[in-house]
């Protein structure tokens, strides 16, 4: 919303670059305009993602795809805010047609006007259908945005693993209580560490088989 915290701009890229230099970690940033892409490339960002509201606009996705033409970096696409599989798959296709070869997807649930247990409707069926149509695409789950509540993140993370997601995207700031946005859904580093120790990942499990089994149950 206008007037609310909307990020720190270019300073954030400098912080990510410092993290990369200091710890050797890969860093990732959301992009919504070609100028964002240009700034990320200049800062040496390793990966980018398209947000849910960006994915919902095919014209905006096309502009971003063109700006990423010839760029060799992983690009992730969040599902759109509405239940629209074609928009999600279409965004992936637009990137692929512009020569982006390292494409992944992130499922963050979908907005709903109904009263729900979580912030977003988990809409697991949308993720399962996406995997059925695009089985070659790495698919992550964003339990933080689905639930909106930190205490539910471990539960939803385990559910995503059971379904067969390839990984998780979890919000973990140093001090969640001081976060300027989405504080209620964020884990502290200590809570995140405890969650990782409790998650059960089945050895030898097949993601394709897991997704197929859940698809058959819909």
Cα–Cα distance, 128 to 130 (Å, whole number)? 5
Position 112 confidence tier, pLDDT thresholds 50, 70, 90: confident
Six-digit token string for 183: 């504080």
Six-digit token string for 186: 């964020």
Cα–Cα distance, 60 to 72 (Å, whole number)? 20
In terms of pLDDT, which residue wins out, 112 or 171?
Answer: 171
- pTM reported for the whole predicted model: 0.92
Percent of the chain with pLDDT over 70: 91
β-bridge pairing 75-78 and 28-31:
unpaired
Over residues 19-66, the pLDDT tens digits come to 999 999 999 999 999 999 999 999 999 999 999 999 999 999 999 999
Over residues 68-110, the pLDDT tens digits come to 999 999 999 999 999 999 999 999 999 999 999 999 999 999 9
In the prediction, which pLDDT does 166 show?
95
- Axis-axis angle for helices 207-217, 124-133 (nearest 10): 120
In the prediction, which pLDDT does 212 show?
65
In the prediction, which pLDDT does 176 show?
95
In the prediction, which pLDDT does 131 show?
96
175, 162 contact by CB (below 8 A):
no
Position 215 confidence tier, pLDDT thresholds 50, 70, 90: low
Q: How far is CA 178 from CA 25, 56, 68, 173, 183, in A?
A: 24, 31, 34, 9, 7
Position 146 confidence tier, pLDDT thresholds 50, 70, 90: very high
Provide the CB-side half-sphere exposure for 86 (13 A, CA): 1
Cα–Cα distance, 170 to 204 (Å, whole number)? 24
Over residues 168-213, the pLDDT tens digits come to 999 999 999 999 999 999 999 999 999 999 999 876 555 566 766 6
In the prediction, which pLDDT does 4 show?
80
Cα–Cα distance, 114 to 136 (Å, whole number)? 33
Instruction: Give which of 15, 62, 57 is closest to 37, Cα–Cα.
Output: 62
Instruction: Give which of 177, 124, 128 is closest to 150, Cα–Cα.
Output: 177
Cα–Cα distance, 76 to 106 (Å, whole number)? 7
Q: Locate tokens 């690009």: which residue?
A: 75
Cα–Cα distance, 117 to 115 (Å, whole number)? 7
Q: Locate tokens 């995140």: which residue?
A: 192
In the prediction, which pLDDT does 116 show?
75
Over residues 60-72, the pLDDT tens digits come to 999 999 999 999 9
Q: How far is CA 185 from CA 30, 117, 143, 166, 192, in A?
A: 18, 13, 9, 21, 12
């Amino acid at each position: 919303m206008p007037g609310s915290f909307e990020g720190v701009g270019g300073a954030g890229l400098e912080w990510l670059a410092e993290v990369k230099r200091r710890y050797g970690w890969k860093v990732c940033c959301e992009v919504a305009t070609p100028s964002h892409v240009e700034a990320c490339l200049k800062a040496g960002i390793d990966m980018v993602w398209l947000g849910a509201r960006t994915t919902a606009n095919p014209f905006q996705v096309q502009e971003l795809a063109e700006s990423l033409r010839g760029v060799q970096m992983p690009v992730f696409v969040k599902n759109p805010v509405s239940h629209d599989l074609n928009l999600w798959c279409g965004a992936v296709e637009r990137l692929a047609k512009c020569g982006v070869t390292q494409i992944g997807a992130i499922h963050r649930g979908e907005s709903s006007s109904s009263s729900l247990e979580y912030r977003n409707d988990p809409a697991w069926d949308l993720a399962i259908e996406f995997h059925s149509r695009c089985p070659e695409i790495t698919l992550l789950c964003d339990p933080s945005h689905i639930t909106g509540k930190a205490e539910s993140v471990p539960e939803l993370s385990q559910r995503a693993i059971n379904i067969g997601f390839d990984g998780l995207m979890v919000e973990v700031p140093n001090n969640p209580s001081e976060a300027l946005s989405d504080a209620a859904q964020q884990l502290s580093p200590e809570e995140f560490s405890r969650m990782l120790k409790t998650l059960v990942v089945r050895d030898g499990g097949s993601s394709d088989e897991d997704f197929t089994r859940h698809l058959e149950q819909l």
